[in-house]
Amino acid sequence: MKNIFYAVAKGLLFAACSMYFGTGWSLVLFSFPIAKSLTPDNYYLQFVPQVTAATHFFTYMTMVMIACYGIFIIEKWRSREKWVPITGLICILASTFLTMKFIFPYNEKMSSGIKEINELQIVLNDWIDLNILRVAIWTVQWLVVMFYFSINVFRYEKTH
């Protein structure tokens, strides 16, 4: 039963890491390229409702991830593999800090309504730069978890 519990926690963790990874790269590939063409008249619908919805959803998902990393750390504490969930936990805490301390203020500026094109471009450029850093952190997090699963697939294949 304990093994099922650990497997479910790791499965949830991999799903959540994949959601962050996919959302981040979707922004980089599809949303960021149009930022230079946005104006005070049209930026709001391109960013604000989506960012607001994502913030709400990812807040709860992050809490689940932190709990799952804790479970994963407990399971692997006596092995070398403990560094996988420890690294992942550091990544999620770093991206959460980056989001709350630096990205949220830009989200609030965009939500409040930006009227000047110069201010909009500065806010968007800074917001994009911070999000690229966050996507890099999410990518490391996903790669670490993917590495863990890949290693275990290879171990399984060797024994069967």
Which pLDDT score is estimated for 64?
98
One-letter amino acid identity for 133? L
Structural domains of the chain, count: 1
Phi, psi values for residue 60, rounded to 5° = -70, -40
Residue spans of the chain under pLDDT 50 = none
- Judge whether 107 and 51 are in contact, CB under 8 Å: yes
Domain that holds residue 131: 2-159
At 102 the pLDDT is 98
CA-based nearest residue to 71, from 12, 140, 151, 16: 12
Check residue 158 and report its DSSP letter.
H
- Looking at residue 160, its pLDDT comes to 74
- Tell me the residue length of the chain: 160
pLDDT of residue 45: 94
Q: What is the pTM of this model?
A: 0.94
Distance (Å, whole) CA 14 – CA 134: 18
- Which pLDDT value is given to residue 156? 73
Q: Token pair of 70, please?
A: 């804790």
CA distance 10 to 77: 15
Instruction: Give pLDDT, residue 103.
Output: 98
Beta-carbon count within 10 A of 65 CB: 24
Q: How high is the pLDDT of residue 153?
A: 78
The DSSP element (H or E) to which 33 belongs, if any, is: none
- Gap between the Cα atoms of 100 and 91, Å rounded: 14
| Dist. CA 137–CA 90, nearest whole Å | 10
Residue 147 has a pLDDT of: 94
